[in-house]
């Protein structure tokens, strides 16, 4: 059975993962039109989270559709901004985005009976209170618009974005309480609720396998909640093209839509549009429209218990490794180009990702697994780059992050939970893990690893590689051209902070050119 409520299927986003194109905020106006007219998307997301996006972009995009097309915003195409988090950025920026939504709706109401913007995305959601407060502020802005401009605007609904492992594992509880607490919305709006789940940031903090399983756990829980509550729940799934960030490509479409059955909307990010083969993005959009909203796999209570303990094991294995080489990641990430107008990670208007609160995960794990997970976590913020540059930096070191801690964790699952559970992991819970690892091995170079990592970390990563080769019977080797580019990057050139050297401008240009050439081979920045 397909869901009765027809949610948008493909939302075009402003993620900075394109290699070939720097896209200014002004160019994003044309990008919005291009996304719908050329690629076939039915939704566009102006993005204010961590970006210097001007507040009037919402107004400009809505006006562009009205002036230059026959499409009606809110009916034929949906404009759904992502606002900043009041907690992680600041309340002022969030309120300014809400005011810009009111302005866009005011400008559009003379041209159509449909409200142009009816929803906005709330990032980094960790609890119900954040959603309730944001919704109330949107209601307040709507009332102010009615008072000052004498027009009726229905308060846009809040779409919570769950992007860390604790939030994903508790998605059913968070959204269930949110549905019960919603106020100030029309009866029509109360019949449906959209939720955005993110692959990238959960992978950044817990690793590839734990992230994937957490997303699938959330999809199962939200589909259960839909049946129990009678509310149509539309799930947006945020994914990039590399496995670590979701593996959403035309070539991997079959695996993707099987792994994440039960979602309703996918993101079409920059790399798939600008760096993959011409026509791939359009074909992927058509595939999505035919494959989405299919019934989810609902996990039993026994399966949920197994999956949570597997997540704990993989999260611990990944974090034990990743906390040992954050400085190397940052030195390369800083050399990767910025392809959108982003805020800095710190400062009054920016933000940095903090050490995750894992109590929502560890408290659900078996005691021995809980202890190992808690001991694996860094004691302070590692100041890691955002997920795209994090992924790009590791690939540029010849160390695809999908590999980190994964082999060791597979052995730990066998040892702690048993052969049967490991079999269910590889063939039931995450059957396309093999194809993910196979792609990652195309960019894995053990010589590069030996240059970038200390001996102890080399040994643990070598164990991961050996176990993965044996488990999946893999013979895939690093692409020879990619290896040649990796050979050009030497740690002593990059690690200027510790050596006290200042990189010569010509050397800097060569390094940046090499990093870009590697990204072009991956067809994404990260």
- Whole-model pTM over 0.85: yes
Q: Please report, for the chain, the start and end positions of each structural domain, with discontinuous segments joined by +.
A: 10-161+234-299, 303-337+352-522
Radius of gyration of the chain measured on its C-alpha atoms: 23
**163, 200 in Cβ contact below 8 A?**
yes
- Does 365 score more than 80 pLDDT? yes
- pLDDT tens, residue by residue, 156-170: 999 999 999 999 999
Q: What is the pLDDT of the chain when averaged over all its residues?
A: 91
Distance between CA 507 and CA 503 in Å, rounded? 6
- pLDDT tens, residue by residue, 6-34: 899 999 999 999 998 999 999 999 999 99
- pLDDT tens, residue by residue, 313-355: 999 999 999 988 766 788 899 899 999 887 655 544 445 555 6
Give 465's contacts (C-beta < 8 A, 6+ positions apart): 403, 407, 444, 446
- The DSSP string of 270-298 is HHHHHTS-TTHHHHHHHHHHHHTTPPPPP
- pLDDT tens, residue by residue, 460-513: 999 999 999 999 999 999 999 999 999 998 776 665 445 445 567 777 888 999
pLDDT interval class at 255 (50, 70, 90):
very high
Class of domain 10-161+234-299: alpha beta
Flag the least confident range among 58-62, 141-145, 263-267: 141-145
Which of 340, 280, 390 is closest to 21 using CA atoms? Answer: 340
As a three-state string, the secondary structure of 344-400 is CCCCCCCCCCCCCCCHHHHCCCCHHHHHHHHHHCCCCCCCCCCHHHHHHHHHHCCCC
**292, 265 in Cβ contact below 8 A?**
yes
- Does 83 score more than 50 pLDDT? yes
pLDDT interval class at 442 (50, 70, 90):
very high
**350, 50 in Cβ contact below 8 A?**
yes
């Amino acid at each position: 059975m397909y869901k009765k409520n027809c949610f948008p299927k493909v939302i075009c986003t402003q993620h900075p993962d394109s290699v070939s194109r720097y896209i200014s905020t002004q160019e994003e106006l044309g990008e919005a039109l291009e996304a719908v007219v050329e690629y076939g998307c039915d939704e566009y997301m102006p993005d204010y989270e961590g970006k210097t996006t001007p507040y009037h972009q919402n107004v400009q995009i809505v006006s562009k559709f009205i002036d230059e097309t026959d499409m009606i915003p809110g009916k034929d195409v949906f404009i759904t901004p992502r606002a900043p988090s009041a907690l992680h950025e600041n309340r002022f920026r969030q309120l300014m985005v809400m005011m810009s939504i009111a302005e866009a709706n005011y400008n559009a109401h003379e041209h159509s009976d449909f409200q142009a913007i009816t929803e906005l995305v709330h990032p980094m959601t960790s609890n119900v209170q954040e959603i309730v407060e944001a919704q109330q502020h949107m209601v307040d802005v709507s009332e102010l618009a009615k008072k000052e401009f004498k027009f009726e605007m229905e308060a846009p609904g809040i779409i919570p974005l769950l992007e860390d492992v604790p939030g994903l594992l508790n998605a059913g509880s968070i959204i269930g309480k949110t549905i019960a607490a919603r106020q100030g919305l029309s009866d029509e709006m109360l019949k449906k609720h959209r939720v955005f789940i993110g692959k990238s940031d959960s992978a950044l903090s817990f690793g590839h396998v734990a992230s994937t399983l957490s997303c699938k756990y959330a999809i199962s829980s939200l589909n259960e909640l839909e049946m129990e509550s009678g509310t149509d729940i539309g799930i947006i799934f945020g994914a990039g093209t590399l496995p670590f960030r979701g593996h959403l490509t035309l070539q991997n479409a079959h695996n993707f839509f099987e792994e994440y059955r039960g979602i309703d909307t996918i993101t079409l990010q920059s790399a798939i549009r600008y760096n993959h083969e011409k026509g791939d993005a359009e074909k992927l959009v058509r595939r999505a429209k035919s494959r989405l909203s299919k019934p989810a796999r609902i996990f039993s209570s026994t399966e949920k218990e197994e999956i949570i303990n597997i997540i704990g094991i993989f999260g611990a294995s990944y974090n034990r490794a990743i906390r040992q080489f954050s400085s190397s990641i940052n030195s390369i990430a800083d050399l990767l180009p910025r392809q959108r107008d982003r805020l800095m990670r710190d400062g009054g208007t920016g933000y940095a990702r903090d050490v995750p609160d894992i109590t929502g995960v560890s408290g659900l794990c078996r005691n021995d697994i809980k202890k190992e997970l808690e001991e694996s976590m860094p004691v302070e913020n590692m100041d890691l780059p955002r997920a795209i540059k994090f992924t790009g930096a590791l690939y540029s070191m010849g160390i695809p992050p999908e590999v980190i801690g994964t082999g060791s964790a597979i052995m730990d699952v066998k040892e702690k939970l048993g052969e049967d559970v490991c079999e269910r992991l590889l063939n039931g819970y995450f059957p396309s893990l093999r194809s993910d690892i196979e792609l990652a091995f195309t960019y894995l170079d053990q010589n590069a690893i030996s240059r970038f990592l200390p001996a102890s970390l080399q040994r643990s990563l070598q164990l991961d590689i050996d176990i993965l080769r044996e488990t999946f019977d893999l013979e895939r080797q690093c692409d020879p051209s990619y290896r040649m580019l990796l050979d050009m990057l030497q740690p002593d050139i990059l690690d200027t902070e510790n050596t006290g050297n200042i990189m010569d401008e010509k050397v800097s240009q060569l390094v940046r050119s090499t990093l870009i050439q590697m990204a072009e081979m991956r067809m994404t920045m990260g």
